[in-house]
Amino acid sequence: MLARIAATCFNWAGSPHPRLEQAGFRRKAVAVARGRQQNLFGGDDPAGPAPWELAEQQDLLAAQIVFNLPAGDTWTYLVPDPLRDLIQPGQRVRAPFGRGNRMETGFCVAVGPPEDYSRRLKSIAEILDREPLAPPEMLELSRWIGERYLCSWGQVLNNVIPAAVRKQAGTRVVQSLQPSAEAPLLMQHLKLTPLQQRVMQVLEQAGRPLRIDELTEAAGCGTGPVTLLRQKGLIEALRERKSSHDLEQEEVAAVEDLQLNEDQAGALQQIQAVIESRAYRTILLHGVTGSGKTEIYIQAIREVVSYGRQAIVLVPEISLTPQTIRRFRSRFPRVAVLHSHLSPSERHWYWQQISRGEVQVVVGARSAVFAPTPHLGLIVIDEEHETTFKQDTTPRYHAREVARRRAEMEQIPLVLGTATPTLESWWRADQGEDLLVSLPRRVSSLPLPPVVIVDIRNDPQCSRGASIGRALENAMRTTLNVGGQVILFLNLRGFAPTLWCRACGESVRCPSCDITLTWHRDRQRSICHFCDYETGAITTCPSCGNAGIRYLGTGTQRLEEEVKAKFGGFRCLRMDSDSMRKPGSHDTALAAFGAGEVDILLGTQMIAKGLDFPNVTLVGVVDADTMLSQPDLRASERTFQLIAQVAGRTGRGDRGGRVFVQTSSPADPAILRAAEHDYLGFATAELRQRKEAEAPPFQVLARVIFRGELEPQVREGAKQVAGHLRQVAEEQKLAVRVLGPAPAPVARLRGMFRYHLQLSASELAPLQQLWNAAASGMPENSTFELTVDVDPVSMR
């Protein structure tokens, strides 16, 4: 009996997945250490049969189950006899939970004999999936994420397995039917009823496989004749492959590998050496904008694919443009694209295809790091500095760190590509932990564009309320008059970002957030960009009732108006999330710009990255101060990144290019270094400051955020939690600093008051220890919610 279990199930005596074995039990040890009382809610059943009372106790089988609950424990359940041959780690099960034994869905993460025969256990009620939804590697990775980001294993699994996959995993595969190869021969020898003949006729005339419902409807019959024909061998069933998105994939002409220049070839060689070593290594590919990083990724992927392995390429959601996708599709026949606009059935379909190994390259946003590739050979993260790689809901993981862990588990290389590395990644490479590969020049030796810093404090036009100063305006005229194109960047959308009362000096805020409303003139609405609250035009001040509301500041809509007024003869196009709502509008707009039908392209982040148009000879950063003034430890880093990225949109053709950066802080080091294209200088100086300030990458941070409807309760709760954490840190002698609590920079959001506190330590381990140790005695209170964010990228 035991031998059979070992063969069919995962069993930790002779486990094929030693890492998983540890996984199941480390968490359980924690649960047991926390005391019996908690276990009562999970698998323990005081009324159930005691294992030692059961006759064949050596035959008992137990499963470790995790639930999508914040309490991060692993619960032990008995596997009843009828289910013991079916259960596998990675499947979902239904099991009674808590004192009331309500049925909860959880994931089975390990199976084996119960470790502790002295406990009475509840039994699993039902197994929901025929096949595991998560392979062993995914189980291990999700366990690690739970530990790394201080949330529960069950919460992670629930998030990484797409809802569509969970929902459809249990449903039957839809089949389509077609005449079998033997059908013509069989029809000569078998006597078919008229109805059966009709079915065969319909199938032959259809000229394509039909689903059973299509077939029965067209033939005007029930399923009976179809079943009989299948039994006789006249009809064969195919796995359903037709899917609306599947074949809508446009045909892309194959493109040969491009010739690499010397720098690129050298970089590719270094990556290939790591691929061939069949070992884990992270490579930071630091290449200036326009240095041809994508071509290097593609040729490295080609090598991996030639071994029959797959590659995952993560790009920021905003870069998942048709151009990017076409670029990969023209080089690899089987590419899957995972983005947030996929329908559930599309997501499910891709997931299946990927897990069958039918896809060579997965291109996708953050969550594509979980793509279930069977033989992964390489992970690439393009634009590694982008903040969208961090998830802002539980589990609050960073795709770069998950990719690092996954690459390590699978012993493969991870390539991080960027022109402006995060200081965390730069520091690691600089210390020799990761391999630094540099591309200091643009392809075909085009120079980086000269950057002019324009001080707008004394500009006569700006002091009269214009957004485009005299220098930028003159440069635009010169450029446009000789047929060049212009890109203007401003990262504020709407018309006016501030509605300000002249009488009392207050700004008009969203009724549920501590955020000023933005006036959108095209729609005649005042909108909160956080919660999407909207109302009409505001004429009287909500604070004092005065009628003197002024619409201050410049968003992209007002900028568009100014451009149109100043450059009447030229065509201008605005790209932001308001003007690009319709699917496909992004592609259409860029195509028009590429074809020269538009002279001035203005917009938000949407135009800051990836665009490559040789005729763009001028880029204007309308307001470099918007990023710099954020109350965020990374404000300088983001400003540098932004200017470098936007500047990278020009000087890509023979006609060269120029960049104008308007600012009222012309001496700021981030702006000065960006203007000199001096990443190294910026990173060195900024790292020195971070070290002095005890900020990342020299410290690990976690932010604890408290939210609730009543301000005093939230404040009080935050104080209690802070006190508890300080006490535990002191008792256990953990070197963790607890700062706060204080009102969060956005003190109210969606009607909830917010407080936060910050934990910092020189490494992650004491921080994790503190959080886990503090979990049991955490002040219980239903008047506020608490979330913890490890390595936060947003401080708001």
d(CA 30, CA 26): 7
Q: Which window, 395-403, 543-551, 643-651, 656-664, contacts Zn ion (CB under 5 A)?
A: 543-551
Tell me the closest approach of the beta carbon of residue 502 to Zn ion, in angstroms. 8
- The token pair that represents 676 in the structure block: 């000199």
443 binds Zn ion (CB under 5 A): no
238 interacts with Zn ion by CB under 5 A: no
Of the candidate spans 114-122, 163-171, 522-530, 752-760, the one that interacts with Zn ion by CB under 5 A turns out to be 522-530
Cα–Cα–Cα angle for 24, 29, 30, rounded to 5 degrees: 105
Separation of alpha carbons 292 and 287, rounded Å: 8
Helix-helix angle 423-430:679-692, to 10 degrees:
100
Smaller CB distance to Zn ion: residue 206 or 503? 503
Q: Which is nearer to Zn ion, 376 or 501 (CB)?
A: 501
CA dihedral 232→235→239→240, nearest 10 degrees, is -140
Name the pairing type of β-strands 600-603 and 572-575: parallel
* Closest distance of CB 556 from Zn ion, Å: 20
Could you give the 3-state DSSP secondary structure of residue 83? helix
729 Cβ neighbours under 8 A, 6+ residues apart: 736, 738, 770
Which among 166-174, 323-331, 488-496, 513-521 is the span making contact with Zn ion, rule CB under 5 A?
Answer: 513-521
Asked if residue 513 binds Zn ion (CB under 5 A), the reply is yes
379 neighbors 406 (Cβ within 8 angstroms): yes
**CA-CA distance, 332 to 249, in Å (whole number)?**
13
Residues sharing a CB contact under 8 Å with residue 612, sequence separation 6 or more, in sequence order: 290, 649, 652
Residue selected from 407, 490, 541, 702 as contacting Zn ion according to rule CB under 5 A: 541
Q: Which is nearer to Zn ion, 515 or 701 (CB)?
A: 515
**Residue 643 interacts with Zn ion (CB under 5 A)?**
no
Angle at 606 between CA 286 and CA 351, to 5 degrees: 75
Identified binder of Zn ion from the candidate list 544, 547, 591, 693, rule CB under 5 A? 544
Footprint of Zn ion on 457-496 (CB under 5 A): none
Cβ closest to Zn ion, residue 320 vs residue 513: 513
Count the Cβ atoms, other than its own, within 10 Å of residue 735.
13
Q: How far apart are CB 505 and Zn ion at their closest, in Å? A: 7
Residue 103 binds to Zn ion (criterion: CB under 5 A): no
Q: Kindly state the smallest distance separating residue 353's Cβ from Zn ion, in Å.
A: 40
Q: Could you count the other beta carbons within 10 Å of the beta carbon of residue 247?
A: 9
Among 161, 501, 601, 619, binds Zn ion (CB under 5 A): 501
Which segment (159-167, 332-340, 411-419, 538-546) binds Zn ion by CB under 5 A?
538-546
CB 507 to Zn ion: min, Å: 9
Confirm or reject binding of residue 503 to Zn ion (CB under 5 A): yes
Out of 517, 528, 618, 671, point to the residue binding Zn ion (CB under 5 A): 528
Which stretch in 413-421, 425-433, 520-528, 780-788 sits in contact with Zn ion by CB under 5 A?
A: 520-528
Does 547 bind Zn ion (CB under 5 A)? Our answer is no
User: DSSP letter string over 501-560?
Assistant: ETTT-PBPB-SSSSSB-EEETTTTEEE-TTT--EES---S-TTT--S-EEEES--HHHHH
CB under 5 A: which stretch of 238-246, 253-261, 313-321, 504-512 binds Zn ion?
Answer: 504-512
- Please count the residues of this chain forming the interface with Zn ion, following the rule CB under 5 A: 14
504 is an interface residue for Zn ion by CB under 5 A: yes
| Residue 445 CB partners (closer than 8 Å, separation 6+) | none
Using CB atoms within 10 Å of the CB of residue 281, give its burial: 0 to 12 exposed, 13 to 18 middle, 19+ buried: buried
Beta-bridge partner residues of 785: 707
Comparison of 74 and 526: residue with beta carbon closer to Zn ion:
526
Q: Does 273 bind Zn ion (CB under 5 A)?
A: no
The answer to whether 452 touches 301, Cβ cutoff 8 Å, is no
In angstroms, give the least distance from the CB of 759 to Zn ion: 28
Q: Is the peptide bond before 697 cis (omega within 30 degrees of 0)?
A: yes
Q: Minimum CB separation from Zn ion for residue 530, in Å? A: 5
Is 531 near Zn ion (CB under 5 A)?
yes
Task: Determine if 543 is a binding residue for Zn ion (CB under 5 A).
Answer: yes
C-beta of residue 490 within 8 angstroms of C-beta of residue 623: yes
Site for Zn ion contains 718 (CB under 5 A):
no
Q: Which member of 149, 426, 533, 771 binds Zn ion (CB under 5 A)?
A: 533
Residue number with CB closer to Zn ion (339 or 523)? 523
Q: Which is nearer to Zn ion, 216 or 518 (CB)?
A: 518
Burial string for 144-176 (b: 16+ CB within 10 Å, else e) reads bbbbbbbbbbbbbbbbbbbebbbebbeeeeeeb
Phi and psi at residue 29, to the nearest 5°: -55, -40
Q: Using CB under 5 A, which of the segments 417-425, 540-548, 608-616, 754-762 binds Zn ion? A: 540-548
Smallest distance from the beta carbon of 517 to Zn ion, in angstroms? 8
CB of 704 to Zn ion, least distance (A): 23
Give 506 or 561: the residue with its C-beta nearer to Zn ion. 506
Contact residues for Zn ion (CB under 5 A)? Answer: 501, 503-504, 510, 512-513, 528, 530-531, 533, 541, 543-544, 546
